[in-house]
């Protein structure tokens, strides 16, 4: 009985994961050693640690008196045990701090991407169906402009307009301080806070997806099976939304997979603009206070997130395109 | 009895950047129920455009019907609005195409694509539609329809894909089937099977079939009558037997001479028709075939020959046609040697 | 006859309205950048006037002043220098790295290719801005470090493209002929294959400049830019506290970024149209 493609894919991906993560850790290691000051300084945030017992223990854990290669191995071992160091700024292990802030970032990322796909794909479909008309031009111009717009600046401009001038939406944060009310009211509160950040993050990607979708739709329109669908007497709407769309979406899904890293990075900046309590805020804090363990820890976990997201996209693609044989 | 399909003076033009080109120039023909008319010609002669025009599926831009009528059981399809025409497609007139695998949606199962057309044109619910789909798959001789139902097109062979296409085309009891080179992309053995299938279905359903091809060998197997097109015009029409026995138009004779026949001396070279089809923007005044014609006279260069009835049921557009019977005898001698 | 194709390409580029507009805008930005020390001599970051002056109020400060009383127009002009400098150098750095990796991987194949691809994958997995911030934090905020950081993060797309080109070109007849003539690998890679592989790489390079501008502005916005130079991102970052009253401090430099990146994208598209002729959509 041949192995199901899903399992094969999972197995292949997991095997790829390990050297990739080791690579990230090695890069981390190199960066640590590129820093001015010693490894110990880095791991204890510029001598914020004064307890000699703790310092001694750190020396043994990371083997600071050992040759470089041994240090590397010990570092890899530490990371494998999810020990990414200790953050004095947050006063907790790096790993725990990141985990605590992860959900907020995930909410932002997913909303931003969801918005991007919805807006971008719809715009692309409109541009393709109404090709060479004013709608096509509008979509193209908007796409080209939003593609050139830094998302953090867009966030600030949206804040000025909607939060400061019009006062429709809150200025920042994820929730309103001191707000109670039932779960539904709380959910609504979060959503209100989510609108501007998600828009700021998503519109850049919406521009990309609009362009890709338009091109993809136009290419699919030319294929033979679309002619067959029309010959079957199906309405134009059905032909476009059922037959063409399913095929045209595939490149967009592929593109999504390639962009996971940039989206995560993008949400980092957006979070600082909106004081959204996710990993971005954590990173900004760490960067401002030279909290090296935190900065490096975020890089490692961020990479892990990207790999996980890629896997999810791959599975999605497998489900969407029956022609893919994972081998 | 009125023909199922009656095409009168169909005109199709291509609106391109270099100008308006006459792609199909006042072509007429009829196909009766239970009958097969073959439409023959080289690539670029306008036969595929004619077929697409009957379904109102011309790619616009650049192609458009600019004149003529297409009467399906008396109703003119050219005048219909798009909505109504959608209701006609596959329900009253359907079409199958050349590349069967590419003509099916790769990400949807064949069963689903079949059910789709059934649900679009009948009142059958999902369950009933699936049953009908399975019946149809059986009718087109696909083995084990149930297991094939959920398959995707890339898992099926070319022959099987074409059978699925045929099933979709006949699913709603249509009157006319247009087959545009349905076997050209298939292996010879599969080709024979598909042709046999089409003939059997025609016998069972009584549908009129317009069969488009460039291959005269196939024509002999599947059609009763044949029309020959050249540079967008119909140049000859006859029953298959009559055409093969005594082709009247020099182009038709050229085509026949270029077709390998069973029993012929293997070492003999196939006769080519010299020259090339003239570009649509640069058609000669007079007969379009004159530059390549072995018997072209002065009149042929100056005047366009109209379609005349050389004998009952035989049409030909050629000034030299009446002089032909003698020539046929001498040409037959040439071919035979 | 060799001049003809190049002439033809230039004509096509000039006929592309977007590319022309982009070139004009970029030209204007370059002129501003070059003239900045002439029109606004001295340190643009010094205090020259009253704080939070709105644009068009005072002829001396057409774009107003910021929270400290610094001339926004001066900072804008000098910021153009920073932006273009970092953009071009970072793009150059990533192009060099990318071409090297891609050429070697595409030409030699085998385990070299495998290793290069793994490396590319690694650098594509680490989230780019996070990587840049990490490098700049550790090495220290300065223009040089920012250029290195952006370069480290941007070379992968060039490597992939170069590799693809080399994979196609290495089996061509003219390459076989060169080998037969006894030319060494290096000479073939640099002298024969590379010139043919360059056109799409050039297009990508120009788009990377746009990306570099966006990266640099984000880094400066977050406070990790070189503190001694004016930068558009820094202006936006400094102006954050003022969004309730003097939001122009954020708006103006942002518009400058949008316009510059837009022009780079338009030029990139125009180059793409000219150097990679393909079936056009329209």
| pLDDT, tens only, B298-326 | 888 888 888 888 888 888 888 877 654 54
C-alpha B69/C-alpha B78 separation (Å) is: 6
Q: What is the mean pLDDT of residues B273-297?
A: 83
Q: What is the mean pLDDT of chain A?
A: 84
Could you read off the pLDDT of A98-112 as tens digits, one per residue?
A: 899 999 999 999 999
Could you read off the pLDDT of A202-231 as tens digits, one per residue?
A: 999 999 999 999 999 999 999 999 999 999
HSE-CB at B22 with a 13 A cutoff on CA atoms is 16
pLDDT score for C2: 44
Could you read off the pLDDT of A268-282 as tens digits, one per residue?
A: 899 999 989 999 999
Q: Give the residue extent of every domain in chain C.
A: 70-276
Q: Is B334 helix (H, G, I), strand (E, B) or coil?
A: helix
pLDDT score for B333: 46
Sign of the Cα pseudo-torsion (C164, C167, C170, C171, in order): negative
- Inter-chain residue contact A36 with C221, CB threshold 8 Å: no
- CA A100, A102, A108 angle in degrees (round to 5)? 135
A320 touches chain B (CB under 8 A): yes
What Rg value do the Cα atoms of chain A yield, rounded?
Answer: 24
- Inter-chain residue contact C125 with A261, CB threshold 8 Å: yes
- Inter-chain residue contact B105 with A225, CB threshold 8 Å: yes
Q: What is the DSSP letter of A244?
A: I
**B 225-254 residues inside an 8 A Cβ radius of A:** none
**C64-95 burial string, b = 16+ CB within 10 Å, else e?**
bbbeeebbbbbbbbbbbbbbbebbebbbbbbb
Nearest 10 degrees: Cα torsion C126, C131, C132, C138: -160
Nearest CA in chain A to B171: A232
- pLDDT > 80? residue A6: no
Give all strands (DSSP E) within A92-244, no chain letters.
Answer: 92-93
Nearest CA in chain A to C153: A262
| DSSP per position, B115-166 | HHHHHHHS---HHHHHHHHHHHHHHTT-SSHHHHTT--GGGS-HHHHHHHHH
- Inter-chain residue contact C125 with A265, CB threshold 8 Å: no
pLDDT score for A48: 57
Could you read off the pLDDT of C83-140 as tens digits, one per residue?
A: 999 999 999 999 999 999 999 898 888 899 989 998 998 998 899 999 999 889 888 8
Give all strands (DSSP E) within chain A, no chain letters.
Answer: 86-87, 92-93
Nearest CA in chain A to C131: A299
Q: What is the ipTM for the molecules in this complex? A: 0.88
Q: How many helices (H) and strands (E) does chain B have?
A: 12, 12
Report which secondary-structure segment, H or E, holds B29.
strand B19-31
The minimum CA-CA distance between C237 and chain A, rounded to whole Å, is 9
Q: What is the mean pLDDT of residues C5-11?
A: 76
- Chain A residues with CB under 8 Å of B103 CB are 224-225, 227-228
| Tokens found for residue A156 | 């600030």
- pLDDT > 60? residue A45: no
Nearest to A228 among B87, B103, B152 (CB): B103
pLDDT score for B96: 95
Across the A/B interface, how many CB contacts are shorter than 8 Å?
Answer: 69
pLDDT score for B326: 47
Could you read off the pLDDT of C247-281 as tens digits, one per residue?
A: 889 999 999 999 999 999 999 888 888 877 654 44
- Inter-chain residue contact B89 with A235, CB threshold 8 Å: no
Return the HEC string of C35-102.
HHHHHCCCCCCCECCCCCCCCCCECCECCCECCCCEEHHHHHHHHHHHHHHHHHHHHHHHHHHHHHHH
Pairing status of strand B225-230 against strand B36-40: parallel
- Inter-chain residue contact A303 with C282, CB threshold 8 Å: no
Which chains, if any, share at least 3 CB pairs under 8 A with chain A? B, C
- Inter-chain residue contact A292 with C266, CB threshold 8 Å: no
The pLDDT confidence band at residue B89, using thresholds 50, 70 and 90, is very high
The pLDDT confidence band at residue A2, using thresholds 50, 70 and 90, is low
A246 touches chain B (CB under 8 A): yes
- Chain B residues with CB under 8 Å of A225 CB are 102-106
pLDDT score for A178: 63
C-alpha B169/C-alpha B166 separation (Å) is: 5
The pLDDT confidence band at residue B208, using thresholds 50, 70 and 90, is very high
CATH assignment, C70-276: 1.10.3720.10
Nearest to A247 among B95, B103, B107 (CB): B107
- Inter-chain residue contact A230 with B89, CB threshold 8 Å: yes
Could you read off the pLDDT of B153-163 as tens digits, one per residue?
A: 999 999 999 99
Q: What is the mean pLDDT of residues A109-118?
A: 94
C-alpha A123/C-alpha A302 separation (Å) is: 30
Q: What is the mean pLDDT of chain C?
A: 87
Could you read off the pLDDT of B50-64 as tens digits, one per residue?
A: 999 999 999 888 899
A219 touches chain B (CB under 8 A): no
Nearest CA in chain C to A147: C262
The pLDDT confidence band at residue C282, using thresholds 50, 70 and 90, is very low
Nearest CA in chain A to C239: A156
- Chain A residues with CB under 8 Å of B210 CB are none
Nearest CA in chain A to B99: A224
Q: Give the residue extent of every domain in chain B.
A: 246-259+272-337
pLDDT score for A325: 63
Choose between C76 and A81: higher pLDDT.
C76
- Chain A residues with CB under 8 Å of B154 CB are 322-323
Nearest CA in chain B to A323: B154
pLDDT score for C245: 86
pLDDT score for A62: 59
* Residue C90 CA: distances (Å) to CA of B130, C14, C83, C232: 61, 27, 10, 17
The minimum CA-CA distance between C233 and chain A, rounded to whole Å, is 9
- Chain C residues with CB under 8 Å of A266 CB are 129
- pLDDT > 90? residue B10: yes
Query: In this prediction, what percent of chain C has a pLDDT beyond 70?
Result: 96
- Chain A residues with CB under 8 Å of C150 CB are none
Nearest CA in chain B to A242: B108
The minimum CA-CA distance between A16 and chain B, rounded to whole Å, is 28
| Of the listed ranges A209-213, A308-312, B173-177, B203-207, the one predicted with least confidence | A308-312
The minimum CA-CA distance between B121 and chain A, rounded to whole Å, is 8
Q: What is the mean pLDDT of residues A315-323?
A: 83
pLDDT score for A69: 78
Across the A/C interface, how many CB contacts are shorter than 8 Å?
Answer: 145
**Residues C269 and C196 sit within 8 Å (Cβ to Cβ):** no
**Residues B66 and B13 sit within 8 Å (Cβ to Cβ):** yes
Q: What is the mean pLDDT of residues B33-50?
A: 91
Query: In this prediction, what percent of chain B has a pLDDT beyond 90?
Result: 53
């Amino acid at each position: 009985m041949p192995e199901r493609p899903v399992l094969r894919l999972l197995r292949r991906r997991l095997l790829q994961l390990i050297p990739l993560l080791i690579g990230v850790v090695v890069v981390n290691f190199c960066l640590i050693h590129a820093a001015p000051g010693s490894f110990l300084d880095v791991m204890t945030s510029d001598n914020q640690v004064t307890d000699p017992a703790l310092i001694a223990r750190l020396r043994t854990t990371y083997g600071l008196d050992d040759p470089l290669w041994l240090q590397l191995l010990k570092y890899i071992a530490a990371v494998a045990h999810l020990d990414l160091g200790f953050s004095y700024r947050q006063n907790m292990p790096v790993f725990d701090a990141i985990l605590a802030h992860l959900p907020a970032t995930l909410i932002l990322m997913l909303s931003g991407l969801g918005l991007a796909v919805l807006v971008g794909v719809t715009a692309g479909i409109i541009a393709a169906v109404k090709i060479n008309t004013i709608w096509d031009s509008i979509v193209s111009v908007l796409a080209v402009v939003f593609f050139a717009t830094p998302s953090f600046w867009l966030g600030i401009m949206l804040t000025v307009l909607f939060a400061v001038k019009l006062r429709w939406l809150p200025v920042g944060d994820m929730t309103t301080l001191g707000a109670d009310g039932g779960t539904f009211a709380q959910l609504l509160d979060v959503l209100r806070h989510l609108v501007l950040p998600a828009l700021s993050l998503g519109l850049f990607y919406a521009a990309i997806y609009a362009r890709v979708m338009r091109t993809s739709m136009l290419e699919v329109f030319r294929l033979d099976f679309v002619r067959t669908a029309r010959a079957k007497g199906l309405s134009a709407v059905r032909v476009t939304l059922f037959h063409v769309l399913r095929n045209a979406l595939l490149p967009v899904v592929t593109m999504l997979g390639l962009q996971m890293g940039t989206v995560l990075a993008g949400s980092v900046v957006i979070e600082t603009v909106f004081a959204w309590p996710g990993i971005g805020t954590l990173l900004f804090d760490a960067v401002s206070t030279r909290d090296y363990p935190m900065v490096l820890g975020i890089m490692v976990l961020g990479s892990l997130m990207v790999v996980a997201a890629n896997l999810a996209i791959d599975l999605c693609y497998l489900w969407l395109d029956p022609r893919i044989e994972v081998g | 009895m009125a023909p199922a399909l009656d095409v009168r003076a169909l005109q199709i033009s291509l609106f391109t950047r270099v100008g308006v080109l006459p792609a199909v120039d006042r072509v007429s023909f009829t196909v009766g129920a239970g009958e097969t008319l073959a439409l023959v010609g080289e690539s670029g002669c306008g036969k595929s455009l004619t077929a697409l025009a009957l379904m109102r599926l011309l790619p616009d831009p650049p192609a458009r019907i600019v004149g003529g009528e297409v009467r399906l059981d008396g109703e003119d399809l050219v005048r219909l609005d798009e909505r109504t025409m959608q209701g006609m497609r596959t329900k009253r007139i359907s079409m199958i195409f050349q590349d069967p695998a590419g003509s099916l949606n790769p990400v949807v199962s064949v069963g689903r694509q079949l059910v789709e057309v059934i649900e679009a044109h009948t009142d059958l619910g999902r369950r009933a539609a699936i049953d009908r789909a399975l019946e149809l798959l059986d009718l087109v001789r696909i083995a084990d329809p149930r297991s094939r139902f959920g398959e995707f097109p890339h898992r099926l062979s070319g022959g099987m894909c074409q059978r699925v296409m045929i099933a979709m085309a006949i699913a709603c009891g249509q009157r006319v089937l247009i087959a545009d080179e349905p076997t050209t992309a298939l292996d010879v053995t599969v080709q024979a099977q598909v042709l046999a299938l089409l003939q059997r279905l025609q016998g069972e359903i009584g549908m009129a079939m317009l069969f488009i091809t460039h291959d005269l060998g196939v024509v002999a197997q599947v059609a009763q009558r044949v029309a020959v097109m050249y540079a967008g015009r119909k140049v000859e029409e006859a029953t298959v037997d009559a055409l093969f026995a005594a082709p009247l138009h020099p182009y038709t004779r050229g085509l026949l001479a270029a077709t390998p026949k069973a029993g012929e001396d293997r070492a003999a070279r196939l006769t080519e028709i010299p020259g090339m089809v003239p570009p649509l923007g640069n058609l000669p005044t007079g007969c379009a075939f004159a530059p390549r014609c072995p018997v072209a006279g002065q009149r042929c260069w100056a005047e366009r020959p109209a379609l005349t009835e050389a004998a009952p049921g035989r049409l030909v557009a050629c000034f030299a046609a009446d002089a032909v019977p003698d020539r046929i005898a001498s040409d037959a001698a040439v071919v035979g040697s | 006859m060799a001049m003809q194709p190049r002439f033809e390409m230039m004509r096509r580029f000039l006929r592309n309205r977007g590319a022309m507009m982009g070139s004009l805008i970029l030209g204007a930005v370059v002129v501003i950048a070059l003239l900045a020390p002439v029109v606004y001599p001295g340190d643009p970051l010094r205090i020259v006037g009253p704080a939070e002056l709105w644009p068009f109020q005072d002829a001396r400060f057409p774009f107003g002043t910021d929270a400290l009383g610094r001339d926004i127009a001066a900072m804008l002009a000098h910021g153009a220098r920073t932006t273009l400098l970092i953009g071009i150098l970072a793009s150059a750095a990533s192009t060099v790295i990318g071409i090297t990796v891609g050429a070697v991987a595409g030409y030699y194949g085998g385990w070299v290719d495998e290793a290069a691809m793994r490396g590319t994958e690694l650098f594509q997995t680490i989230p780019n801005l996070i990587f840049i911030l990490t490098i700049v934090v550790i090495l220290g905020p300065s223009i040089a470090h920012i250029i290195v950081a952006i370069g480290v993060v941007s070379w992968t797309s060039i490597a992939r493209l170069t590799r693809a080109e080399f994979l196609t070109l290495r089996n061509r007849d003219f390459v076989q002929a060169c080998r037969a003539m006894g030319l060494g690998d290096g000479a073939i890679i640099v002298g024969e294959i590379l010139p043919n592989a360059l056109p799409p790489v050039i297009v990508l390079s120009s788009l990377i400049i746009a990306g570099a501008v966006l990266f640099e502005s984000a880094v400066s916005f977050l406070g990790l830019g070189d503190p001694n130079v004016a930068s558009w991102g820094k202006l936006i970052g400094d102006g954050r506290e003022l969004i309730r009253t003097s939001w122009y401090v954020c708006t103006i430099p942002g518009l400058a970024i949008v316009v510059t990146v837009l022009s780079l994208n338009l030029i990139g598209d125009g180059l793409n149209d000219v150097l990679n002729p393909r079936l056009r959509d329209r």
